[in-house]
């Protein structure tokens, strides 16, 4: 019976809303204890209840639960703010009846209470900053029952239903739900090009004009469809225009304060002209990224061509791995350096909200992703195949470099005179990036982290067992002197073990998955005429991706913060850019290779510069005309919930609130905040603890009730946490002696 109730507590999370991981490993015990007391007092002041448990050797886990009254108040204020800014299309109910519609909304409101500044009614807790430097993470626990049920049901489905997307939104918020909606739409749309591409591969082969035209048209229709789908989903989930209610970044530096003409509020601003001048630095950054990564990739490309197709000397079997080793080491290193530069540049541009900051950073990093993903194929298609016969003779410099290191009888021999271009190289390279690289990426993204996580967990358990064995007998005296036992209560063991395991997981960033899909779309738009089976590969990959990403969120990452969004952000612009570039590259590839008759050395037989430029010019303008026509047709299907002027809506609703809403009506909900605050003033004695234990034994309670009654108020939680810190610091001191 106890086991069944413990299992129930594990799945229900013991009514825990958030877990705050407090790290004290390198801090002074007294200072860490004071900061912990400040944290607990701050949380209680905004209506949150706390419980402290031990994490690992250097962390505490502060479990947080919001009172019903504080959640209702937070939901009410959130909906009023949304209504004033035109986000919601329904009037907010009163504060006494406001209820969170989904678990994600409830968690979002509580996270807002924890993190927003005190002047806005929150606790102002920002992990890793200022007085909260000991706070390592703030996260909520997974709902294992719901996650497992979804994974079982989705494994038997081909397509997700709108109700499935609503369930994702209810669990993880609109930002994650929008990603899965995009992936679902992309997967559905891939069915047609996969079938059509397979037919063209059988009947027409590669570089088909018909396939290229249909593929470009498909790219246009998909992007314009998704734009409409975003609006539809944002209206359905009432998040349209939600970006206007974002809070300011802590790092934002306002240059002056102005009074908003619409809202009448005084707010700090940074001049747009000054930010635009700073944004001009993106031009030299893009050039720097192109030159730095381009030189590395082009050099490795030249070495690879020389060794694999020209060089015929000793050690060739081993030398062919040199380009791969160089690319694997130099490109990630340079990308990391450029990403750090992009982050510094983004900080310098001083964006007001996190949304605008993330959008600007994504655009900068997209330049790096574009170069590293597509430049190798561009070099093969537009440098190697047309001009290899002219470039290869200049690769003799590599022979001069190698010759001093080999004997005369094994001197390097070149075959530049008999060199012939490999016309199949481009197709093999496209197949690698669209099939092999996708499989490798799936393994590195999902399988390897899962195995690594389990192995690391087993290793830590083994270390703990070894540590207990070594400490047996030697620390018995010190353990008897401790006033607080650190052993988990029997009915909390499974729950606390799961909480500690989730605390060790990494955060989930939906931007990484959107970047992956955007790069994949680019291969389809730019290079699929080379191999018409590209959409077939992506269709199979994305069926797995849809489920593996959900598995990754549930099993390999902490539960995502339930952030709201009404769009996939800058990735939509990136899709449009890739589609436009695809109209240029596809037409160029068709002109160069569609005749299927290579010259004597393997290069295209006839390439005239004026004809190539004319083809590109005609194709691009035709693309722009078709895109305009498709967009105009889509606009005819405009959704009825169009967005109205923000300021007029705000003023109208403000007048309505001033004329109709009076003092908040407080319902008959028991004031459990008073119980929390009142308990901290009660004297804790042996008698009171015995009375509590006696009352608890007389009444049957569930595990959640017992969990939240272990510690009587935040003062006792602070004492427990301080005792844990003192004990752990003492153990570390003895180990060092």
How far, CA to CA in Å, does 157 sit from each of 153, 160, 524, 614, 632? 7, 7, 25, 47, 35
| Distant-in-sequence contacts of 254-257, Cβ < 8 A, 24+ apart | none
Q: DSSP secondary structure string, 432-474?
A: IIIIIHHHHHHIIIIIHHHHHHHHHHHHHHHHHHHHHHHHTTT
Polymer length of the chain: 737
pLDDT recorded at residue 537: 94
Give all strands of the β-sheet with 135-139 in edge-to-edge order.
Answer: 48-54, 59-66, 18-23, 135-139
Contact 650, 85 (CB under 8 A): yes
SS3 320: coil
Question: 715 and 729 in one domain?
Answer: yes
Going by C-alpha positions, the residue among 566, 521, 571 that lies closest to residue 542 is 521
Cα Rg of the chain, angstroms? 31
Band of pLDDT at residue 734, cut at 50, 70 and 90? low
In sequence order, what are the residues at sequence separation of 6 or more whose Cβ sits closer than 8 angstroms to the Cβ of residue 582?
215, 216, 219, 522, 525, 526
The pLDDT of residue 235 is 80
> Does 7 fall in a domain?
no
> Which of 67-81, 293-307, 334-348, 597-611 is predicted with the least confidence, judged by mean pLDDT?
597-611
Q: What is the rounded CA–CA span in Å between residue 562 and residue 149?
A: 20
Phi-psi region of 66 (alpha: psi -120 to 50; beta: other; left: phi over 0): beta
Element (DSSP H or E) covering residue 248? none
Q: Of 628, 453, 563, whose CA–CA distance to 175 is shortest?
A: 563
Q: How far apart are CA 134 and CA 465, in angstroms?
A: 28
- Please state, in angstroms and rounded to a whole number, the distance separating the CA atoms of residues 17 and 385: 60
**244 φ, ψ (degrees, to nearest 5):** -75, -15
Pair 294, 435 in one domain:
yes
Q: Are residues 281 and 320 in the same domain?
A: yes
Tokens of 371: 């170069």
Backbone angles phi, psi at 249, to 5 degrees: -75, 145
- Residues 545, 586 within the same domain: yes
Are 411 and 336 contacting, i.e. CB atoms less than 8 angstroms apart?
no
209-236 and 510-527 are packed helices; what angle lies between their axes, rounded to 10 degrees? 150
* Domain count along the chain: 3
Upper half-sphere CA count for residue 334 (Cβ side, 13 Å): 20
Same domain, 430 and 315: yes
Please state the φ and ψ torsions of residue 601, each to the nearest 5 degrees: -100, 10
Give the pLDDT of residue 371: 92
Give the bridge partners for 66, in sequence order. 48
Whether residue 199 is predicted with pLDDT greater than 90 in this model: the reply is yes
CB 83 within 8 A of CB 685: no
| Domain range for 590 | 145-258+504-600+607-639
Kindly report, residue by residue over 538-566, the tens digit of the pLDDT.
999 999 998 899 999 998 899 999 998 88
Do 329 and 298 reside in the same domain of the chain? Answer: yes
Compute the distance between CA of residue 182 and CA of residue 511 in angstroms, rounded to an integer: 13
Q: Strand 266-269 relative to strand 59-66: parallel, antiparallel, unpaired? A: unpaired
- The predicted pLDDT at position 603 comes to 59
pLDDT value of position 65: 92
Nearest in space to 190 (alpha carbons), one of 470, 496, 455, 524: 524
Rounded to the nearest angstrom, the gap between the alpha carbon of residue 513 and the centroid of all alpha carbons in its chain is: 6
CB-CB contact of 130 with 250 (8 Å):
no
pLDDT band, very low/low/confident/very high, at 81 (cuts 50, 70, 90):
confident
* Residue 380, in any domain of the structure: yes
In a domain, 459, yes or no: no
Give strand pairing partners of 135.
22
Distance from C-alpha of 349 to C-alpha of 282, rounded to nearest angstrom: 10
Kindly tell me if the per-residue pLDDT of 456 is higher than 60. yes
- Looking at residue 1, its pLDDT comes to 42
Average pLDDT score, the chain: 80
Dist CA 646 CA 372 (whole Å): 41
CB neighbours of residue 466 within 10 Å = 10
Helices (H) and strands (E) counted in the chain, each on its own, are 29, 6
With vertex at residue 589, the alpha carbon angle to CA 584 and CA 590, rounded to the nearest 5 degrees, is 100
What is the reported pLDDT for 309?
72
634 and 523 together in one domain: yes
The answer as to whether 695 is a domain residue is yes
Q: Which residues contact 88 (CB under 8 A, 6 or more apart)?
A: 79, 82, 238
Contact 509, 171 (CB under 8 A): no
CB 227 within 8 A of CB 569: no
- Measured CA to CA, the distance from residue 13 to residue 703 in angstroms comes to 10
Confidence of residue 575 (pLDDT cuts 50, 70, 90): very high
164-168, 212-216, 609-613, 711-715: which range is least confident on average? 711-715
Last residue of a domain, one of 396, 422, 444: 444
**What is the rounded (10 degree) CA torsion for 269, 271, 277, 282?**
30
Q: Is 94 helix (H, G, I), strand (E, B) or coil?
A: coil
Cβ–Cβ under 8 Å, residues 572 and 181: no
CA dihedral sign, ordered 477, 736, 31, 27:
negative
- Residues 6+ positions from 54 with CB-CB distance below 8 Å: 60, 61, 486, 724
Alpha-helical (H) ranges within 85-143 are 103-115
Residue 211 lies in a domain: yes
Structure tokens at 609: 């510069």
Cα–Cα distance, 363 to 365 (Å, whole number): 6
91 lies in some domain: yes
User: Do 586 and 669 share a domain, yes or no?
Assistant: no
Q: DSSP secondary-structure letter at 351?
A: -
Helices 570-593 + 354-379 axis angle, to 10: 10
Question: pLDDT category, 482, cuts 50, 70, 90?
Answer: very low
297 and 204 part of one domain: no
Is position 337 within any domain?
A: yes
Residue 286 shares a structural domain with residue 430:
yes
User: Which one, of 311, 294, 499, lies nearest residue 398 by Cα?
Assistant: 311
Check if the beta carbon of residue 315 is closer than 8 Å to that of residue 410. Answer: no
Is residue 55 included in any domain, yes or no?
yes
Digit-coded pLDDT (tens) for 221-256: 999 999 988 888 888 888 888 877 777 777 878 777
User: What is the model's pLDDT at position 617?
Assistant: 92
Q: Is the pLDDT of residue 522 over 90?
A: yes
What the block records as the tokens of 273 is: 């002209």
CB contact at 8 A, 257 and 269: yes
Cβ proximity of 212 and 529 under 8 Å? yes
pLDDT recorded at residue 205: 85
CA gap 314, 411 in Å, rounded: 8
pLDDT tens column, 31-47: 888 888 898 999 988 88
pLDDT in tens, 654-701: 666 666 655 444 445 555 555 555 544 455 555 555 566 556 554 556
Nearest by Cα to 327 from 437, 435, 438: 437
Q: pTM for the full model?
A: 0.83
DSSP secondary structure code for residue 315 in this structure: T
* Residue with tokens 């967990």, as numbered in its chain: 457
**Where a domain ends, among 419, 444, 469?**
444
Q: Averaging pLDDT over each range in 106-115, 272-281, 698-707, which range is the top one?
A: 106-115
Q: In terms of domains, do 663 and 707 share one? A: yes
Q: Which of 603, 533, 210 is nearest to 380 (CA)?
A: 603
132 & 150 share domain? no
Confidence at residue 644, expressed as pLDDT on a 0 to 100 scale:
47
Q: Is the pLDDT of residue 91 over 90?
A: no
Q: Indicate the residue among 392, 422, 444 that finishes a domain.
A: 444
Rounded CA separation 460/383 (Å): 52
Torsion, CA 270, CA 271, CA 273, CA 279, rounded to 10: 0
Which pLDDT score, from 0 to 100, does residue 477 have?
43
> Which of 385, 407, 412, 386 is CA-nearest to residue 397?
412
Q: Is 671 left (phi over 0), alpha (psi -120 to 50) or beta?
A: beta
């Amino acid at each position: 019976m106890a086991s069944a109730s413990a299992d129930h507590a594990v799945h229900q999370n013991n009514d825990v809303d958030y877990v705050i991981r407090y790290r004290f490993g390198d801090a002074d015990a007294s200072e860490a204890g004071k900061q912990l007391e400040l944290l607990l007092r701050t949380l209680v002041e905004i209506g949150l209840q706390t419980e402290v448990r031990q994490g690992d050797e250097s962390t505490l886990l502060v479990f947080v639960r919001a009172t019903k009254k504080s959640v209702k108040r937070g939901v009410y204020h959130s909906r009023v703010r949304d209504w004033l800014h035109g986000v919601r299309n329904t009037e907010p109910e009163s504060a006494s009846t406001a209820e969170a519609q989904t678990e994600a909304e409830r968690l979002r409101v509580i996270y807002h209470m924890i993190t927003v500044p005190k002047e806005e009614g929150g606790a102002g807790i920002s992990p890793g900053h200022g007085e909260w430097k000991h706070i390592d993470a703030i996260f909520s626990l997974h709902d294992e029952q719901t996650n497992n049920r979804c994974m079982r049901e989705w494994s038997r489905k081909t397509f997700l239903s709108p109700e499935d997307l609503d369930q994702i939104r209810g669990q993880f918020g609109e930002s994650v739900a929008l990603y899965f909606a995009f992936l679902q739409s992309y997967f559905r749309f891939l069915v047609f090009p996969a079938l059509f591409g397979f037919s063209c591969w059988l009947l027409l082969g590669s570089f088909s004009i018909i396939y290229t035209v249909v593929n470009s048209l498909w790219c246009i229709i998909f992007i314009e469809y998704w734009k409409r789908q975003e609006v539809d989903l944002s209206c359905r989930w009432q998040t349209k225009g939600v970006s206007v209610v974002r809070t300011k970044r802590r790092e934002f530096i306002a240059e002056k304060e102005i009074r908003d003409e619409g809202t009448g509020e005084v707010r700090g601003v940074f001049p747009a002209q000054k930010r635009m001048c700073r944004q001009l630095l993106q031009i030299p950054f893009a050039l720097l990224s192109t030159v730095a990564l381009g030189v590395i990739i082009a050099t490795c490309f030249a070495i690879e061509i020389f060794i694999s197709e020209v060089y015929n000397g000793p050690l060739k079997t081993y030398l062919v791995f040199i380009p791969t080793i160089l690319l694997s080491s130099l490109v990630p290193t340079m990308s990391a350096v450029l990403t750090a530069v992009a982050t510094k540049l983004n900080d310098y541009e001083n964006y007001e909200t996190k949304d605008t900051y993330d959008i600007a950073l994504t655009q900068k990093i997209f330049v790096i992703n574009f170069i590293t993903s597509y430049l190798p194929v561009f070099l093969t298609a537009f440098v190697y195949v047309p001009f290899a016969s002219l470039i290869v003779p200049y690769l003799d410099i590599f022979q001069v470099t190698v010759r001093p290191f080999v004997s005369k009888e094994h001197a390097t021999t070149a075959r530049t005179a008999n060199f012939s271009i490999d016309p199949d190289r481009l197709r093999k390279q496209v197949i690698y990036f669209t099939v092999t690289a996708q499989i490798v990426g799936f393994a590195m993204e999902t399988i390897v982290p899962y195995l690594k996580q389990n192995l690391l967990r087993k290793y830590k358990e083994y270390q703990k067992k070894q540590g207990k064995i070594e400490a047996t007998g030697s620390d018995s005296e010190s353990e008897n002197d401790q006033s607080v036992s650190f052993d988990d209560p029997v009915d909390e063991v499974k729950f606390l073990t799961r909480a500690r395991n989730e605390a060790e997981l990494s955060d989930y960033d939906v931007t990484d998955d959107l970047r992956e899909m955007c790069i994949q779309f680019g291969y389809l738009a730019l290079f699929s005429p080379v191999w018409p089976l590209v959409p077939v590969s992506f269709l199979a990959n994305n069926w797995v991706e849809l489920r593996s990403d959900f598995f990754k969120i549930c099993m390999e990452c902490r539960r995502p913060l339930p952030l709201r969004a009404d769009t996939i952000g800058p990735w939509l612009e990136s899709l449009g850019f890739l589609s436009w570039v695809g109209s240029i590259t596809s037409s160029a590839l068709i002109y160069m290779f569609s005749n299927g008759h290579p010259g004597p050395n393997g290069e295209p037989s006839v390439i005239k510069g004026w004809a190539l430029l004319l083809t590109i010019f005609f194709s691009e303008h035709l693309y722009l005309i078709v895109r305009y026509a498709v967009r105009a047709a889509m606009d005819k299907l405009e959704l009825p919930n169009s967005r109205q002027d923000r300021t007029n809506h705000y003023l109208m609703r403000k007048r309505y609130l001033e004329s109709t809403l009076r003092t908040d009506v407080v319902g008959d909900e028991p004031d459990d905040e008073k119980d929390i605050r009142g308990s901290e003033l009660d004297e804790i004695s042996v008698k009171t603890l015995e009375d509590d234990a006696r009352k608890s034994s007389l009444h049957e309670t569930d595990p959640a009730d017992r969990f939240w009654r272990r510690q009587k108020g935040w003062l006792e939680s602070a004492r427990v946490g301080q005792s844990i810190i003192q004990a752990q610091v003492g153990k570390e001191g003895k180990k060092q002696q």
